[in-house]
Structure 1
Amino acid sequence: MKSDLYKMPKRPQRLHVRKRDRFAGPNIEPVEVVTVDKFTECHVTPGDVAARMVDYLGSQGDYLTLEPSAGTGQLSRALLASGYSQSELVQVERHHKLAGQLHRFGTVVNACFLEWSAERAGKVEFPRILMNPPFREVRKHMAAAESLMGRGGHDCPPVLVALVPVTFSHDRAEELETLGPDTFQTAKVYTKIIRITGA
């Protein structure tokens, strides 16, 4: 993906993330201040968008659920608020400080998702994957996530829902929504929500 597709701030910025009513849940505190810099490449998913992404995953159940590149845990928060189990949520985040804030939502793996997924492919299956991958390497991250999709003992096929740049294409992706360039406070980019259903 071309690096000039979106603009990153030249200096770290402080971004206030407000807790939305929909995400109120037991023992889950909002992230008050998030530092966004070139090392995180973290674009916080707005609460209403995160809620819709969870809805697109489909029916709830005892599904092992993955959030790659979990960032501030905004998608994890939406999953828990919608009834997903904290004990079945796996979050992967390479940035140490961001990973340190995620333990209240579920299991945290402090690692590069691309490396972690390569080690886990064929060893674990996730029936549900929800992600907002880094835009610069979106194709690599999407392929890595797909390698971990599987029924995991369930009858229904696995589902992956992702927020990606509009330029991303996939022959099996269902395009659900197109979002405007002001979705993120730290980047100007047109994005869309897609869903991939496995076999």
Structure 2
Amino acid sequence: MKRAVYVRANKPMRIPIKHRDGFDKLEPIQVVEPVIVDKFTECHVTPDDVASRMVAYLGPTGDFLTLEPSAGTGQLSKALLASGHSRHELTQVERHTKLASGLHRFGPVINRCFLKWAAEVKGRVEYPRIIMNPPFSQVRKHVAAALTLLGRGGHEASAVLVALVPITFVHSDAETLEILSADTFATAKVNTKIIRITKPN
């Protein structure tokens, strides 16, 4: 077949293509893996802003051994590291195996029930800094166990415990720092507050 069949009069077969430069490179898409928490763990994930304020309530950073008794997804641990606390002075305790496996990036993890572990190490270790968001159904037991481990640990500064607890929690030495909004936790219909307990010199 003749080539002329495919040619319109005075119309070339080829169409020029303009090259366009200057497009910005697309940033790679980062998919954040969702944190899925079994409801039976009683793990209520602390929001970033609340975790940051809780860390600030502990006081200035230093070479303080710091305990996170119910580390969960690591929100408080992450806030500690972001504020300058050392991962080498952080002890995280989490009984739920799957949650515990995700905490190693923040520091050492003890995969145990905190109440049992605290009873075993009582009198053998002191933590000048304790930060916690304990299971609400056992909050009194968990705070009491944490207080048995709170101590100056050779430091001159007072030992400090900061905890996120239900608003109904009462302790004679607790100072209420904040009353949190009712929608702080999407999975728990519990009114909460941040408290601080200081063990003096």
Q: What TM-score does the superposition give when structure 2 sets the normalisation length?
A: 0.82
Q: Which residue of 2 aligns with 1:46?
A: 47
Contact 1:180 1:189 in 2 (8 A): no
1:37 Cα deviation from its structure 2 partner: 2.2
1:31 Cα deviation from its structure 2 partner: 7.2
1:107 partnered with 2:108: yes
Q: Which residue of 2 aligns with 1:194?
A: 195
Q: How many residues align?
A: 170
**Quick one: distance in 1 between partners of 2:33 and 2:57?**
27
Runs of 4+ in 1 over 3 A off after TM superposition: none
Q: What TM-score does the superposition give when structure 1 sets the normalisation length?
A: 0.83
**Quick one: distance in 1 between partners of 2:186 and 2:93?**
23
**Runs of at least 5 residues in structure 2 that lack an aligned partner in the other structure:** 1-30
Q: Which has the higher contact order (CA 8 A, sep 6+)?
A: 1
Offset from partner CA, 1:93-118 (integer Å, 9 cap, x none): 00000000000001100000000000
Q: Which residue of 1 aligns with 2:155?
A: 154
Q: Which residue of 2 aligns with 1:173?
A: 174
How large is the Cα RMSD of the aligned pairs? 1.2
Offset from partner CA, 1:35-84 (integer Å, 9 cap, x none): 22233110000000000000000011000000011000000000000000
User: Which residue identity is paired with 1:143?
Assistant: A
**Quick one: distance in 1 between partners of 2:166 and 2:114?**
19
Partner of 2:36, secondary structure, is strand
Partner of 2:39, secondary structure, is coil
**Quick one: distance in 1 between partners of 2:32 and 2:180?**
24
**Runs of at least 5 residues in structure 1 that lack an aligned partner in the other structure:** 1-29
Offset from partner CA, 1:166-195 (integer Å, 9 cap, x none): 000000000000012200121111100000
**Quick one: distance in 2 between partners of 1:70 and 1:114?**
13
Q: Which residue of 2 aligns with 1:144?
A: 145
Partner of 2:40, secondary structure, is coil
